[in-house]
Amino acid sequence: MDKKPHYQLFIDGSRSEGSEGQVMTSQNPATGRDWATFACASKADVDRAIGAARRVLNDPVWRDMTQTQRGKLLYRLAGLIEENAQEIGRIETTDSGKLLAETASQSAYVGDYYRYYAGLADKIEGAVLPIDKPDMHVFTRREPIGVVAAIVPWNAQMFLTATKLGPALAAGCAVVLKASETAPAPLFEFARLIEQAGFPPGVVSVITGDAENCAIPLTRHPDVDRIAFTGGPEAARHVVRNSAENFAVTTLELGGKSPVIVFEDADLDGAANGLIAGNFGASGQSCVAGTRGLVHRSVLKAVAEKIEEKMAAVIIGDPLEPDTQIGPLCTAGQITKIEETLAAAVAGGATIRFGGARLQRPGNYMAPTLVECADADTETLKVEMFGPVMSLLAFDSEEEAIAIANNTPFGLGSGVFTQNVARAHRVSARLKAGICWVNTYRAVSPIAPFGGYDQSGYGREAGMEAICDYTRTKTTWISTSDAPMANPFVMR
């Protein structure tokens, strides 16, 4: 039997087991069999990682490095990621079940995020203020915010790491990166590239572990200055409570139930493709999944038939195989949640038009599923299932579509399919979501910020402004007068 890979914590430039010896096992979702083990951090390990980050912030090797030099390290890291994208993708696919075609290409593409922030590293500027006091020179400068706790989930970890690590390192921060305890292997592999790129020890540490021993001590640690969290709303509530202990600046990128509105004048083939991309991309395991398909009643039948035709041709199989289009879900618990949600939807009057059951094969496989909903209260329109389930609901007017789309506690992604330019502008402006795609879906770029409204979180990642979120503004006042400072007790 082949020996299983074992991944250690990466703290202060060295690899080690957890101080309390805790080890977790990761299953391959495509087979249901254990494939790797990894060390888990204890509170002492968290303290060690944060201590290393705090130390390196005061170390001239990192503290006095010019912003241009930091940018060069990020350029080097981008190149290493691209060179190793296929191997990182293979590890991520084995660990999480996501398609190799997606994990490898996504890993390669995140190199562009590091290059983007590498280019911005020496563009972080202050300003001279036209102050209203005579004989005063006043200016601002942006300084690194300090120690960053970056917490990422398993479902798009290389991408979501880049949106945090890129701006944080460009700004001169030090980062403790917590990988999900579900499928963390690719981030431990990524730690090798950070080391090869030449970042000083302590600038980035990579750990994982459960909530009690790792996540809670990390997010409430007194030496953490900023928390960047991606995950679910329930975990986020704990993060926010924990941040009250250290007053860390916190951003949250959470889940969603994104609407995709298809108007009667839309290109129906394009709309069907958009709905498929929004629901079955990453096997539905995406926070921006467009799981609420709102289709004008006059074209609902045509759109549903186009989707069913495409679903019937989908290749389900081994995620390592290049022809596979839908792979397994990361955990068996996701399938159980989907089954329960589908049962509630059917009991409420919904119709399963396609799929609807787990596949009888080894691994965590769920058939791609299409649900036609009776009304907006259908369970599949409310629950984030994180799997390949698409729900369709008819609407009759633009106002009704907007009202249904906005009737949710979430607000991350949204989509509009129409050939009417005026309508595209009008509707996209009224949707309560941080992202709106028009006649496309799931497009991303390092140049474009993203984030949510309401229970989809707050703060933005990617884009130029994100780098400022990893800095603090310092204002400096300098008297330019040769006269001594006046006696403050003499009022004039």
Tens-binned pLDDT, residue by residue, of the chain (492 aa): 468 999 999 999 999 999 999 999 999 999 999 999 999 999 999 999 999 999 999 999 999 999 999 999 999 999 999 999 999 999 999 999 999 999 999 999 999 999 999 999 999 999 999 999 999 999 999 999 999 999 999 999 999 999 999 999 999 999 999 999 999 999 999 999 999 999 999 999 999 999 999 999 999 999 999 999 999 999 999 999 999 999 999 999 999 999 999 999 999 999 999 999 999 999 999 999 999 999 999 999 999 999 999 999 999 999 999 999 999 999 999 999 999 999 999 999 999 999 999 999 999 999 999 999 999 999 999 999 999 999 999 999 999 999 999 999 999 999 999 999 999 999 999 999 999 999 999 999 999 999 999 999 999 999 999 999 999 999 999 999 999 998 999 876
Tell me, yes or no, whether 401 and 467 share the same domain: no
Q: Residue 284 in contact with residue 386, Cβ under 8 Å?
A: yes
Chain centroid offset of residue 351 CA: 32
CA 224, CA 376: separation in Å to the nearest integer? Answer: 42
CA 30, CA 44: separation in Å to the nearest integer? Answer: 35
Tell me, yes or no, whether 179 and 235 share the same domain: yes
**Sheet-wide strand order for 249-253:** 14-16, 9-11, 204-208, 174-179, 147-151, 226-230, 249-253, 457-458
Tell me, yes or no, whether 284 and 153 share the same domain: no
Task: Confirm whether 446 is domain-assigned.
Answer: no
Task: Confirm whether 491 is domain-assigned.
Answer: no
Number of neighbours of residue 386 by Cβ within 10 angstroms: 24
pTM exceeds 0.85, yes or no: yes
Task: Confirm whether 207 is domain-assigned.
Answer: yes
Active site residues: 253
- Domain count within the chain: 2
Which residues does 185 contact at the CB level (< 8 Å), separation at least 6? 5, 7, 26, 36, 38, 91, 92, 94, 95
Structural domain of 179: 6-254+452-476
Give the domain CATH number at 294.
3.40.309.10
From residue 229, give the alpha-carbon distance in Å to each of 51, 86, 134, 191: 20, 27, 45, 19
CA 320, CA 376: separation in Å to the nearest integer? Answer: 38
Task: Confirm whether 484 is domain-assigned.
Answer: no
Burial letters 398-437, b for 16+ CB under 10 A, else e: beebbebbbebebbbbbbbbbeeeebbeebbeebbbbbbb
Q: Sign (positive/negative) of CA torsion 310, 312, 318, 324?
A: negative
